[in-house]
Amino acid sequence: MEQTRQEYIRDLAIVQDKVYQMGCMAEAAVRKSVQSLLESNANLAEQVMREDDAIDDMIVDIEDDCILLIAKQQPIAHDLRVIATGFKISTDIERIGDHAFDIARVAKSSGTPLDAERKKLIQELADCSASMIKKTMQSYRTANVRLADEVRHMDKKMDEIFKRTFYSLSHFISDSKYPPEEVTSLLFIARFLERIGDHAVNIAEWVVYLETAERIRTKKTV
């Protein structure tokens, strides 16, 4: 019986480790997708798009592990929350990977290098979203509710940066120097990065639930 319990604890830890590794992969994908855009690096963009399959494979693997644990062990309390949040967090991570894929796809098809002004706008938004992913996965890895709360509070900053970026990029549409379709693509990228921040907040909320059993929702600013 003791051996079975030890194996069960080990299997729970394996699920959490896989979720963490998946999060690290998604963070790297976001950073590389933005880098490919800012440096007009089509090869790097293609790499991000290829590597998205590995993130998709991981969510299937994690789901299978969670289902097997439920079927074999009938977990309760904190153990059940480990499994439930494994499902939920991996779904948010998979969405982050999808957005990184979308950014890379735009970068691959982009024909004109970005000027310094537009690079700065995208870089600021990208830095904030990547930082949120990194912190939220650290909070999950270390069971750190305080760090998860920091990520939740970063959402306001992300929204402010997004609104400023979106407003600034919108003005380029009326400028004949910039093809409208390229400006539109950048507006989509800004939205992708803002959504990545939202998924990081979702993960932070699941970390709080995992460690405290408290369900919370971060209210968006209007």
**pLDDT tens by residue, 3-29:** 487 888 999 999 999 999 999 999 999
Q: How confident is the model at residue 218 (pLDDT cuts 50, 70, 90)?
A: confident
DSSP secondary structure code for residue 174 in this structure: G
42 Ramachandran zone, left/alpha/beta (phi>0; psi -120 to 50): alpha
> How wide is the angle at C-alpha 217 spanned by C-alphas 52 and 9, nearest 5°?
60
Q: How confident is the model at residue 73 (pLDDT cuts 50, 70, 90)?
A: confident
Task: Evaluate whether 203 touches 218 at the Cβ level (below 8 Å).
Answer: no
Average confidence score pLDDT of the chain: 92
The CA R_g of the chain, rounded to the nearest whole Å, is: 19
> How wide is the angle at C-alpha 189 spanned by C-alphas 36 and 29, nearest 5°?
45
Q: Determine the distance from the C-alpha atom of residue 100 to the mean position of all C-alpha atoms in its chain, rounded to a whole number.
A: 9
State pLDDT tens for residues 84-93: 999 999 999 9
Instruction: Catalogue all structural domains in the chain, each as residue range(s) with its CATH number.
Output: 2-212 (1.20.58.220)
- Of residues 1 and 164, more confidence is placed in 164
DSSP SS3 for 179: coil
Q: How many C-beta atoms surround the C-beta of residue 53 within 10 A?
A: 11
Q: Does position 120 have pLDDT exceeding 70, yes or no?
A: yes
The DSSP result for 83-137, as a single string, is HHHHHHHHHHHHHHHHHHHHHHHHHHH--SPPPHHHHHHHHHHHHHHHHHHHHHH
Q: Is the Cα torsion angle 80, 86, 88, 89 positive or negative in sign?
A: positive
Gap between the Cα atoms of 20 and 143, Å rounded:
12
Can you give the pTM of this predicted structure?
Answer: 0.94
Q: Does position 222 have pLDDT exceeding 70, yes or no?
A: no
Gap between the Cα atoms of 29 and 51, Å rounded:
8
